[in-house]
Structure 1
Amino acid sequence: METEQHIIDRSLISADRIEEAIYMIRGRRVILDYDLARLYGVSTTRLNEQVKRNRKRFPNDFMFRLTDGEFVRLMSQIAISNLRRGGRRKLPFAFTEHGVVMLASVLNSSVAVDASIHVVRAFVQLRTMVATHSELLRKLKEIDEKIGEHDTVMWLLFEAIKQLMESPSIDRDEERPRIGFIART
């Protein structure tokens, strides 16, 4: 039978909640240790202990510790505990998509496995959204270029019309040589 804690944690596992916990740091999409601990139904302390025990499973492209500057910027964006009020003493770990999967195998609980599946799906969904966004930007650029070409053609057309309008009109009253046959009588 599941405990109430696991039921609460599973209710936290929604794509929207996971996407809100994904941040762009150092050009990578990551989730902080605190958010993963909540999703996996463990304490942040236990999660970090397991990471330390299995450090070889977490190379730098799977996980890294935030710098002071990154942490300060992140604190201004989200609600992270204040160090002066008994909050975190160490800088948080940031886990990439691969680190999230590895962490689930290290924690080895059904909640962690379920949560990691949802987290990976959220990462994939974000990647798809970015690809779609890139495709839209490319198409907009193409349209902009075509409009630019059309503007050039329209400008040339208007210039030709102006030249035709400004050209000297032929005065019909002035004497000019006759064209055609002259009938002899």
Structure 2
Amino acid sequence: MKKEENLLVPDEIISNKIYLIQNQKVMLDRDLAELYQVETRVLKQAVKRKLNRFPEDFMFELTKSEFKNWRSQFVTSNSDKMGLRYAPMVFTEQGVAMLSSVLNSDRAIAVNIKIIRIFTKMRELLNDNLSLRLEIEEIKKKVTNQNKNIELVFSYLDELIDKKENEKERTKIGYKNDKRESK
């Protein structure tokens, strides 16, 4: 198993083969076949033989429009397009995990473990990102409320200043000291 781990590809290469399709993180059959070092048709045949292990939330085929859209996003040579005549099977994280039971080689198992770990890291990063966004939104709300409160205080101060300026000089009341007035 140690020898097999040395043959694995870096995390970045696997991460770059994870796409967001139908709001799900998925991997294409041909990318998985390349990682497992088997032909794409061999991978597809193995999946079709055990199709009951792959419900729709584990694996699905791209629709024609999704496939066309996906192909148009990638500039590929004609030889590369030859492998893309048919809409690929795409596998969710659970589908990738199930593949290790269908492709029962040491390489498939080792690659699957690595892929699942990368999916987990991505999920953790997204959760951390979401937590940060929620905290930032909370801070924004507090700042907005403080701004409103400060504006309210200033408007009250303006009212008081206007009131003071508009007041006529009041007549003084109280004791009159004649000594002061006579000087």
Number of the residue aligned with 1:112: 108
Match of 2:13 among 7, 11, 17: 17
- 1:92 and 2:95 equivalent? no
**Superposition deviation, residue 27 in structure 1:** 1.8
**Superposition deviation, residue 175 in structure 1:** 4.0
- 1:58 and 2:54 equivalent? yes
Q: Determine the C-alpha separation between the residues in 2 that align with 1:26 and 1:168.
A: 66
- Compared CA separation, residues 179 and 69, structure 1 to 2 (3 A): farther
TM normalised by structure 2 equals 0.84
**Superposition deviation, residue 168 in structure 1:** 3.0
CA contact (8 A) 1:50 1:107 kept: yes
Give the match's secondary structure for 2:164.
coil
Give the match's secondary structure for 1:167.
helix
**Superposition deviation, residue 158 in structure 1:** 0.7
Give the aligned residue type for 2:66: E
User: Which residues of structure 1 form unaligned runs of 5+?
Assistant: none
- Compared CA separation, residues 37 and 151, structure 1 to 2 (3 A): same
**Superposition deviation, residue 121 in structure 1:** 0.6
What number of residue pairs does the alignment pair up? 175
Match of 1:28 among 24, 38, 42: 24
**Superposition deviation, residue 119 in structure 1:** 0.5
Q: Determine the C-alpha separation between the residues in 1 that align with 2:67 and 2:22.
A: 12
Q: Deviations over 1:77-133 (max 9, x none)?
A: 335565996442211000011111111221111111110001001111111111111
* 71-80 vs 113-122, which moves further: 71-80
Give the aligned residue type for 1:118: K
Q: Indicate the RMSD between aligned Cα atoms, in angstroms.
A: 2.8
- Compared CA separation, residues 120 and 75, structure 1 to 2 (3 A): same
Q: Determine the C-alpha separation between the residues in 2 that align with 1:19 and 1:86.
A: 24
User: Which residues of structure 2 form unaligned runs of 5+?
Assistant: 179-183
